[in-house]
Structure formats: structure tokens, C-alpha cells
Amino acid sequence: MRSERSYVAGLYTRLDAERTRVKGQYNAALRGNGASPMERDVEVRASAKALRRLAVADDGLCFGRLDTLSGDHSYIGRIGLFDEENDHEPLLLDWRAPASRAFYVATAATPENMRRRRQFHTRGRQVIDFTDEVLGRPGGGERGDAALLAAVNAPRGDGMRDIVATIQAEQDRIIRLDHPGVLVIEGGPGTGKTVVALHRVAYLLYTQRERMERHGALVVGPNPAFLNHISRVLPSLGESDVVFMTTGDLVPGLHVTAEDTPEAARLKGSLKILDVLAAAVADRQRLPAQPLPIPLADVTVRIDAETAEWARHEARDSGLPHNEARAVFTEIVTYVLTERAIARIGRGWLTRADRAGWEELRSDLVKELAGDEKFTAALDELWPILTPETLLAGLYASPERLRAAGGDPALARADGDAWTVSDVPLLDELVDLLGSDKSADRTAERERAAAAQHAADVLDSLVGRQDSMDDEDHLFATDLLYADDLAERFVEQDTRDLVERATADRDWTYRHVVVDEAQELSEMDWRVLMRRCPGRSFTVVGDLAQRRSVAGATSWDTMLEPYVPGRWVYRSLSVNYRTPAEIMDIAAALLAEFAPGVRPPESVRACGVQPWSRRVTEDELPAAIEEFVRDEAGREGTSVVIGPPEVPGAVAPSETKGLEFDAVLVVEPERILADGPRGAAELYVALTRATQRLGVLHQGPLPQALTGLVETPAPAKAGQ
């Protein structure tokens, strides 16, 4: 024990020295030392990233040791540390390194040329104890589960914890899987599929850092609470180039404020909505019912239906998005109107041979049309500049436009821009259908150029002041700082970190994408995500039995094969590390009713506490909930009340997907079960959130599948 404590203490000494070295690099980079602003920024970012990676290692820096048959040994930890004075000899292996793999997969039956696995139990920087497992010994059985059971039995904290010290063999095989396409990880509640996917991202960032770190990775989850729950895992593994989003965040700046009906969500999630969107755009490319007069200085010209139809045909045939094709439409209309005007104005005073006169007249007319308000208004009526938001909001709010586009009446709503999650992929699609407004782009470029010129003028002014200073004049440091800051603002570089840049940029593409609760995503959701990752490198996590959305996946093949034919593989997790056997037995009975072909995961442990139920009246329900909350407040760990929206203080089952709590109280399961076609899946989710204790309160008869619960009487009132 003494030697192990001494070795781990030496690792911390090495860690502190490395931190000091990198901190020095960081401070030097901040000072600049003659480097250009861009070079300084690159060095500051690199050293800051290195500091963040070193900062995660204080807790559990080294958690294990492997001894080989030949007598060599290696220490395994969160990061790799090397002896700089001894030919870069590894002092600590990163858990992701190939040499660390045996720590997770070696067993008594397949020892991987290892003799012993040692697992450290630490508190802070101190080794408290360790357990040994001798490998390759006949009858030795599988690896010891002391560390694993200690981890799964520990009270839950505020967020998901990494499992770097307790990764199991079936999990490790998925984490290290060498597959360039889409990996689907399916598993029931508590199988660790989410945390396995996150560790896989950390593994890919380690093994493919040069390829991945410029674009980073994206993790998509079902709701903000879930993302907050998992957000600490990757930083705890030293990885920060990861963006966390819900599907509602995929269009920057959009705020989701409403919820669709199931029918509207189904319609919006289907690829058939693409035809509606295309028709809605085409519907805004109009022909005038009557000729539109454009009075010019010397003549009045008219945009008639024939002219507009020709211009529309040419604009559509250009293949450009709607807003960019307006230039083609405008060019054709301008050509027709100027030819008509020239024919009328030039008659009698221009000869056919006077080519210069004709061209001058044409040029004057083109300029006059370009600056004419009525001409611009006519163009806006026939081929308006559109944004995704204005087009879609107008479509929803207008029964006439919706009907013209072939949309289902179920899509109509009075408040067109009350955005829902299902609107996000439609708005994203419209970005490509509409394209950018080139005139707005040119205006922004002119403003940027003007600001840059202002910065240059300030610098020139200050330099001039410095050249002309006499003994009475002073050039203050603040002047130079202001000028320096102003100039650097327009240097062609972006000083935001990767997460900030990616979050703000709709066109940002990622090297890898993790999709959790993927069974809930619609066909249109997948279109958005495939745009975000042209390399089609995905880790997809889900459980079809827990699908709630009517637009979600009924099979992985249906969703993925159109995008990655033959490039997706399937892996399953079968061991439940979260839900104790007593609770899983109850959930499995429900699963057998609504998904009889799905095998429930096998719990790795029992907790010794039987889940209970209690029937209450409507008047007794609030007090019973308060009793649960009060009792759990006195315990270590976390708890939650899950129930229908009408229950005060209860969280909807869908809001707890992917989360875990020490204790769960499910209220009125019969009402959850009756809530639409996916009510059984909702109840299944609710029942499988607990790691220790589960209680159920019900007013009506208990659903048949839950009759295995132990019925408990209400506590006796005072005086009885």
C-alpha cells in the first residue's frame, strides 16, 4: 500500500509541474512577446485548452494498474503523463490509449496476457485502498464488481458522472469500435448507453484529434434538463470542443415557445412536408392579375402577366434559391420594360445606326428603373425577398396559402410565429430553399468596410499626433489601447472558442454527432442532422420501446438507410446498471404488455427495497406528495415526482428521459397510461428513473401491469 500511495503521489507532483509549465506558456502567450495577433490567439487557445485538460485530473488521476505475465506493469488514469527526463517514458496511461484496453476487457477466461488487475479506491489525492483481481486462473470467474457496485449504489449527484474507472467489457467494445459511419447503440433503461456514447466521443477526440478538433463534435439531447444532466461528463474527461443542443436549438436565434398537437408533429416530421414547403415558396412567385404600371420620366411601362411569366420561368430554371433567383427575375423584367420604353421614346429621334444613343438611353432607363420605388414595390409583390420565418409564419396563419401549397389544415394556427420544436427542421430546410438576400449581404459588407476605415483613420490620427507632439503634449496609453483594440477587431480572425462559433453558425459542420433519445427524431430531424455532419459520422443512442413521438422511429433502418446505405452498424447493451432488480421487475411487466417482443435489460444488482403503491383520494393526494418530498429531503441523493401536468409539483415523464434519481414517486399512473397511444412508453420511462426507491400514488384502480407493487396503507392520522 505504501509503495502505491508513493507512486500516485509522484504522479500528482508530475501533474502539478506540468500545470505550472503550461500556465507559463499561457501567460507568455497573453503577453504576445512580439507575435502577431493571430499567432498570439492560436497560442492562447492551445495553452488554455491544455490547462483545461490538466484541470480535470485532480479527482481520480490514477484509478488502476495492470500487471503483465512478463512482470511489467502500467498505471491507468484519466490522462497520460510522461517522464520528460527519461526518453518520454509513460508514467500514466490515458484510459483511451490502446495499451489501456486490457484494463476493461481482460477476464479470468481471456486474460489478454495480463496477470493481475488492480483497482484503486481514492479520496481526493489519497489512495485509500485497492482491490486485486488475478487473471488467467482457472475458475477465477469474471472481473470483480466491487468498484462497479460501489459506483451504481452511490447516491446520485446533480449530474451524470463519467464511468472511466468502471467501464465494462461490453461497453468498452462499443467505445473503441472502429467504424467510420453511423453506430446505433440500443439499450433499455439503465444500460448506460448515454454515458457510453459520451465516452466514445472522448475516445474519438483522443484518437482522431487532428481531424476532429477544428470542427468539434455535437451532442443532441431531448431537452435542456437532460443536456444539463450530462454536460459534465466530457469536461471531466478533458474534452471541451463539444457543442450540446436540443433539436430546438439547431437554428441559431430561434426561440421555441409552443407545442404541436400530435397530428401536426406527425405531418411536420414526414418528408412529405418538403413538397408543401416547395409549393409555399412557388406560391410567392406570382403573376400580376392586372398589368402593373411603372411611371418613368418620359414614359409609363407596364409589367404584364406574360412578361412576369417569362421572367419567373427563367428564374426558376436558374436553379438558384428563391432570394438569389430574384436577380434573374429582375433582369428579365428590366430587359422587357427597357426595350418597350426605348421603342416608344426613341421613335422619331434615334436612327438605327445611332448605336451609342440607343445604349445610352438603355443605360439611363435601367438606372431609372433600379431607383424607382414603384418598380421595387412591383418586384416585392411578384417575387418578394423572404426569410424562413416570414414564409412559414405566413403559411400557418393563412388558410388560403396553406391550401394553395397543399398543406393539411391541421397545420394551421392563428399565431404563425409561435414556434415549436417540429418547426425547426422546416425552417432549416427553408434556409436552403430561399437562400440569402444578396442586397442585405452587400449592405453588411459596406458597413464592415466603413467600420474598418474608421479604425484605420483613428490609427492614422494617433500616429499623426505622436509625430507632431512637442514637450507639452502627451499620448496616453489608453489612446494606443483603444486604437489597438479597434484595429484587431477587423483582423481576419475569429477569437471566439469553437463552441461559441459553432452555436452561432447555422452552416457549421461537425466531425461527429451524438444523437441521444434518437427514437424520438422525425425524418425531417434527420435531414437537419445529416446537413450538420457531411462525413456521416454518428453515434446514435436510443430505445425504440421508449418512443413517445408519433413522428419518431419505428425502425433504425427506415431512418438511416436513405442517408448511409450499408454504412451503419447496430450494437446493443443488455445489462441494467441503474435500475435495481426489484424496480425492473415491475417495469418489465409493463413492457411485456405494450412491447412483447422486446427483452428487458438484466439488472446487475438488487437494492433490497420493494417498490410500493398507495391508493389515495383526491383530497389526500397533495399531502401524500408532500410526505414523499419531506422524507426524501432528509436523505442523501436526489428525488423527483413524476405525473400528469395537472399534478402540482410533478414533472412530465418526457422531461425525465435520460435522467436518474435515487427516489421516484409516480403519481396517477393510470392517467399517464391513458395519455395517447404512447402512454405506456411514458409510464415505462417514469418507472425506470429510480436507482434505489420507487413509490406510486393512484386514485383509480392500479393498472394491471403494476399489480406487483407492494400496497401500503396511508399513515395513521394523529388521534387514531
pLDDT number for residue 590: 95
Q: How confident is the model at residue 361, as a pLDDT?
A: 84
Q: Which three cell numbers stand for residue 380?
A: 416585392
Q: Does 273 fall in a domain? A: no
Q: How confident is the model at residue 114 (pLDDT cuts 50, 70, 90)?
A: very high
* Residue 445 confidence (pLDDT): 56
Q: Do 206 and 247 share a structural domain? A: yes
Same domain, 105 and 22: yes
The answer to whether position 40 is within a domain reads yes
pLDDT of residue 350: 56
Domain that holds residue 301: 280-434
Residue 287 lies in a domain: yes
List, in sequence order, the alpha helices (H) in 518-595.
523-532, 556-560, 581-594
- Per the annotation, does 107 bind a ligand? no
Q: How confident is the model at residue 102 (pLDDT cuts 50, 70, 90)?
A: very high
CA–CA distance, 437 with 442 (Å, rounded to integer): 9
Q: Is 187 annotated as contributing to ligand binding? A: yes
188 annotated to bind ligand: yes
Give yes or no: residues 358 and 409 share one domain: yes
**Number of domains within the chain:** 4
Helices (H), 412-476: 424-434, 438-468
Q: What is the pLDDT of residue 238?
A: 86
Q: Average pLDDT, stretch 646-652? A: 91
Residue 661 counted as domain residue: yes
Report the alpha-carbon distance of residue 423 to residue 413 in Å, rounded: 12
Give the residue from 521, 546, 575 where a domain finishes. 575
Measured in degrees and rounded to the nearest 5, phi and psi for residue 101 equal -55, -40
Residue 530, burial from CB neighbour count under 10 angstroms (0-12, 13-18, 19+): middle
Q: Is 190 annotated as a binding residue?
A: yes
The verdict on 522 and 568 lying in the same domain is: yes
Q: Are residues 137 and 213 in the same domain?
A: no
Q: Are 152 and 691 in contact (CB under 8 A)?
A: yes
Residues 377, 345: one domain? yes
Distance CA 163, CA 17 (A): 27
Residues 430, 286: one domain? yes
Handedness of CA 673, 677, 682, 683 (dihedral sign): positive
Residues 95 and 240 in one domain: no
Q: Tell me, yes or no, whether 466 lies in a domain.
A: no
Least Cα distance to 54 among 25, 86, 85 occurs for 25
Q: Is 191 annotated as a binding residue?
A: yes
Q: Which of 410, 434, 458 is the last residue of a domain?
A: 434
Phi, psi of 238 (to 5 degrees): 85, 15
What CATH number has the domain bearing residue 570? 3.40.50.300
pLDDT of residue 611: 97
Give yes or no: residues 242 and 338 share one domain: no
Residues 517 and 600 in one domain: no
Q: Report the alpha-carbon distance of residue 295 to residue 234 in Å, rounded.
A: 65
Question: Tell me: the pLDDT tens digits for 211-244?
Answer: 898 899 999 999 999 999 999 899 888 888 899 9
Under the banding of pLDDT at 50, 70 and 90, the label for residue 351 is low
Contact by Cβ (8 Å): 144, 173: no
By the 10 Å C-beta count (0-12 exposed, 13-18 middle, 19+ buried), 555 is classed as: exposed
CA distance 272 to 278: 11
Terminal Cα distance for the chain, rounded: 59
Give CA–CA dist 12/254, Å, rounded: 46
* Nearest residue to 296 via CA among 384, 381, 362, 356: 362
521-551: pLDDT as tens digits: 999 999 999 999 999 999 999 999 999 899 9
717 annotated as a binding-site residue:
no
Within the chain, what is the greatest distance between any pair of CA atoms? 116
pLDDT tens-digit map of 438-474: 655 555 555 655 655 555 565 455 445 545 544 444 4
Sole residue written with cell 475458475: 139
Cβ atoms of 108 and 140 within 8 Å: the answer is yes
Q: What is the pLDDT of residue 338?
A: 93
**CA gap 441, 479 in Å, rounded:** 33
Quick check: is 168 in a domain?
Answer: no
Q: Do the beta carbons of residue 685 and residue 653 sit within 8 Å?
A: yes
In a domain, 486, yes or no: no
Which segment, 52-61, 673-682, 697-706, is predicted with the most confidence on average?
Answer: 697-706
Residue 710 above 90 pLDDT? Answer: yes
Helix pair angle (37-55, 2-31), 10° resolution: 160
Task: Choose one of 94, 114, 142: the last residue of a domain.
Answer: 142
Sequence-ordered list of residues with C-beta below 8 angstroms from that of 611, at least 6 positions apart, any chain: 582, 583, 586, 690, 693, 694, 695, 696, 709, 710
Task: Let me know whether 601 and 688 are in one domain.
Answer: yes
- In tens, the pLDDT along 157-211 reads 767 888 888 888 899 999 999 999 999 999 999 999 999 999 999 999 999 998 8
Paired strand residues for 217: 242, 512
Determine the Cα–Cα distance for residues 230 and 224; give it in Å rounded to an integer.
10
The arithmetic mean of pLDDT across residues 14-21, rounded, is 93
pLDDT at residue number 298: 86
Q: Which helix (H) or strand (E) holds 173?
A: helix 169-175
Distance between CA 132 and CA 118 in Å, rounded?
4
Cβ pair 197, 514 in contact under 8 A = yes
Task: Tell me, yes or no, whether 261 lies in a domain.
Answer: no
Residues 193/541, Cβ–Cβ less than 8 Å: yes
Does residue 689 share a domain with residue 570? no
